[in-house]
A and B are shown apart, each in its own frame.
Chain A
Amino acid sequence: DAGVTQSPTHLIKTRGQQVTLRCSPKSGHDTVSWYQQALGQGPQFIFQYYEEEERQRGNFPDRFSGHQFPNYSSELNVNALLLGDSALYLCASSLYQGSDTEAFFGQGTRLTVV
């Protein structure tokens, strides 16, 4: 049973460009949360998707948007990239009504903006 898979693993983009990151949740999970982890920091919550809707959002600008598909997979889109968007982007999947210990993280996508 595959866990959470994220693609791509690494990405280099130029300032001002747009990027799309992808996440496939663990089988049976229906909720996807996205986190940004800057170098030397802990992850920061971006937003969460359940039933194809954004359920909660952290303190991130509108340049960050997302989508969840009927198969529960999700995308994170970032427009007008800034150098400060360089980070590890982590996806976590869980059951919306599940227990706290059943959230699984992917290995992340490392985004570098030059």
Chain B
Amino acid sequence: AQKITQTQPGMFVQEKEAVTLDCTYDTSDQSYGLFWYKQPSSGEMIFLIYQGSYDEQNATEGRYSLNFQKARKSANLVISASQLGDSAMYFCAMRDYSGYSTLTFGKGTMLLVSP
């Protein structure tokens, strides 16, 4: 069975600073994908970044980067130059490729960006 662990219930960061949100995962599959989503108070889950288990380089998407350490089974999200609009819940999720395209989510981390 897959499991995603996000140990930080909440994080605070000042505007323009970088912040790292932690995510560890557990799976017996060799082929899987890791995702980060942002969920503002409106409820919609917004896709941020994806890392495949066989990707050798860490994924980057604008201000978002994923620090993928396969041996440690961690997939931390790094947000550079935080903005006030980054305040939201952030979820780490995983999909394995032995089944269909369903996602297993962690419990999330609430990020608050202060001026």
Contact = CB atoms under 8 A, between A and B. Distances in A.
Most buried by B among A44, A92, A100: A100
A43 B45 contact: yes
Ordered nearest first, which 5 A-B pairs have the shortest CB separation? A42-B105, A105-B45, A108-B43, A107-B44, A56-B100
Interface of A: 31, 33, 35, 40-45, 48, 55-56, 58, 88, 90, 92, 94, 96, 100-101, 103-108, 110
A40 B108 CA distance: 8
- Dominant SS at the A interface? strand
B47 A101 contact: yes
A32 B107 CA distance: 22
B107 A56 contact: no
Nearest to B34: A100
Contacts of A56: 99-100, 102
Given A56-B100, A100-B95, A101-B50, A44 B45 contact: no
A33 B101 CA distance: 9
B108 to A, nearest CB: 5
Contacts of B101: 31, 33, 48, 94, 96, 100, 103
Contacts of A35: 103, 105
